[in-house]
Amino acid sequence: MKLEDFNIELKPLPGAMPVWRGRADAGQWRAVCQQVRDDGGRLVALWGSDGSDRGEGYAVHAALAVPSGLIVATLPLAGESFPDVSDIFSCANRMQRAVCDLFGVRAEGAADQRKWLRHAAWPADVFPLRKDFKDDSDLRVQSSSNHEIRTTINQRRTTINERRAAIDDPRITNHDPRPVDDYPFVQVGGEGVHEIPVGPVHAGTIEPGHFRFSIVGEGVLRLEERLGYKHKGIEKRFEQMTLVEGARLAGRVSGDSTVAYAWAYAMAVEAVTGITPPPRALWLRALLLERERVGQHLWDLGFLGNDAGFGFGLAQFSRLREDSLRTSNALFGHRYLMDTIVPGGVARDIDSDGIAGIRREIDAVGTTVSTLREIYVNHAGLQDRFVDCGRIRQDQAARLGLTGLAGRASGIGSDLRVQIPPAPYDRLGVNLVVRTGGDVAARATVRVDEIVESLRLIGAILDGLPGGDIAISVPVAPENAFGIGWVEGWRGEVLIALETGANNRIRRLHPHDPSWQNWPLLERAVLGNIVPDFPLINKSFNLSYSGQDL
């Protein structure tokens, strides 16, 4: 499809990625989404904004990926509703509900109108991302001393004990006097069906979220996720920051993808200020992004072994990972490379010793990973757990919009580094890794193959690393500028949509994690599996809670 075929006027935006922006009316909004969908494109993100402080109303925005780049459609709203597109892109469901929780603008006609990010922290008629929202003391907790906390805890314990004593009383359904999140889960009826509620505090060291299983015996009939526990007001926090300060926060939207977010943020800032970082900085960014990918994949492969009872796998993969973290710390000053990518370039350079050290490391990792791959493949017990477990078929993945690494394990061959490569990937030539199995085994194999490819890329980056500066200074951004950052992180595509305010401040920023798209597919993947396989399936997706809860 050509850009002229769209019924809205699209203008190219400056920046490292090919992005066009256009204004749509309510009818065009759905038509554009449908056109992109029919052409095999995808919804990357959907978010809201409030223009009331400058005499405008609310607006919703959709970032739509097409073969030649990204289309950002903006629908200015006269009232407090917009046309639903969740029938076109099913992943829009939760994004639209989040827009409603945060702005009070509703997707008209959407089948699912339940709250999503809001639990009990703020009332249903308060909308934190509206410009007139006052973050006042009613909603804040006052800092209190340990002594005061202990006193209130003792009082609460007395209350709880009294309630426990009266637990036979059928009127008592909630043993805690504080407000709770009364979320209307879909209930499954029928003889022998029962529910297992899991979380938000899980059994392992992972992020909090709630999973509601409806089961018969051990078989899963339905899984429903309840996320939003980690909502800590990231988008509002951005609006209190300058473009300089925002870089640090962007790197902490989802700590495991700090490089991808930092790069996307830098890309957006560079787009609105009209600068291009020096070539060496871009090559070093790619080096950092591939190191993050290798590190996370090593980690996940270890845990996949561990969750299937093969502790040896975790010990081996996690020592490789630790070696790599230590190298990162020695070369770039941070084990996870936080704050290494900054708007304008990168914060640290490497010298010839550093390059030699990375070369030694990629050789060592490459050799051990190939041995471990053979051990995993030939381990009957492991393959018994991996194969056919948590399957998303290719047609489901295409219909429901599975993306990123999990998508590539279900035959969806999408990777920004391959299809719309920003510099220096256009020079490197990334080989697409894709599998069609769609099960835990396929997601493990994609990780192994991507490690091998990333190690090759790291070698190529070190070979071709241009000389010169590693950063340029960033000028003050004009007011009301709009910029996009779009980066293929290890989990999938990370998007930053940035709108500037006066005095180099952030007026609105939406960070988008690919987990938004993939969480609903996890609900599908576990159907027909047994409850004890859930941890393995969940780990094979390894989605971000923090990145989607914001």
User: Which chain residues interact with another protein by CB under 8 A?
Assistant: 119-122, 128, 133, 135, 139-141, 143-144, 146, 149-150, 153, 156-157, 160, 176, 178, 180-181, 200-201, 203-208, 228-234, 236-237, 248-249, 252-256, 258, 299, 312, 314-316, 318-319, 321-322, 325, 335-336, 338, 368, 371-372, 374-375, 544-546, 549
CB of residue 138 vs another protein: minimum separation in angstroms? Answer: 9
- Taking the least distance from each CB to another protein, the nearer of 20 and 261 is 261
Here the tokens at position 182 are 């009364």
Q: What is the DSSP letter of 88?
A: T
- Taking the least distance from each CB to another protein, the nearer of 256 and 450 is 256
Give the CA count within 13 Å in the CB-facing half-sphere of 480: 5
Here the tokens at position 180 are 């709770």
- Taking the least distance from each CB to another protein, the nearer of 34 and 368 is 368
Here the tokens at position 214 are 């409806």
Total Cβ atoms within 10 A of residue 86? 21
CB of residue 200 vs another protein: minimum separation in angstroms? Answer: 5
Closest CA to 7 of 73, 56, 78, 59: 73
- Taking the least distance from each CB to another protein, the nearer of 101 and 439 is 101
Amino acid at site 47: W
- Taking the least distance from each CB to another protein, the nearer of 2 and 140 is 140
Closest CA to 440 of 482, 389, 508: 389
CB of residue 258 vs another protein: minimum separation in angstroms? Answer: 7
CB of residue 318 vs another protein: minimum separation in angstroms? Answer: 4
Q: How many degrees, rounded to 5, is the angle at CA 130 between CA 475 and CA 13?
A: 40
CA distances from 459 to 23, 311, 315, 416 (A): 43, 30, 26, 20
Amino acid at site 332: F
Is the CB of residue 428 less than 8 Å from the CB of residue 457? yes
- Taking the least distance from each CB to another protein, the nearer of 139 and 530 is 139
b/e per residue, 114-142, with b = 16+ CB within 10 A? bebbbbeebeeeebbbbeebeeeeeeeee
CB of residue 146 vs another protein: minimum separation in angstroms? Answer: 5
- Taking the least distance from each CB to another protein, the nearer of 143 and 352 is 143
Residue 139's H or E segment, with its range, is none
CB of residue 158 vs another protein: minimum separation in angstroms? Answer: 12
Closest CA to 207 of 477, 549, 436: 549
Q: At what angle do helices 440-464 and 534-541 cross, to 10 degrees?
A: 20
- Taking the least distance from each CB to another protein, the nearer of 228 and 424 is 228
CA distances from 432 to 413, 435, 449, 514 (A): 7, 10, 10, 18
CB of residue 118 vs another protein: minimum separation in angstroms? Answer: 9
- Taking the least distance from each CB to another protein, the nearer of 86 and 258 is 258
CB of residue 436 vs another protein: minimum separation in angstroms? Answer: 28
CB of residue 451 vs another protein: minimum separation in angstroms? Answer: 17
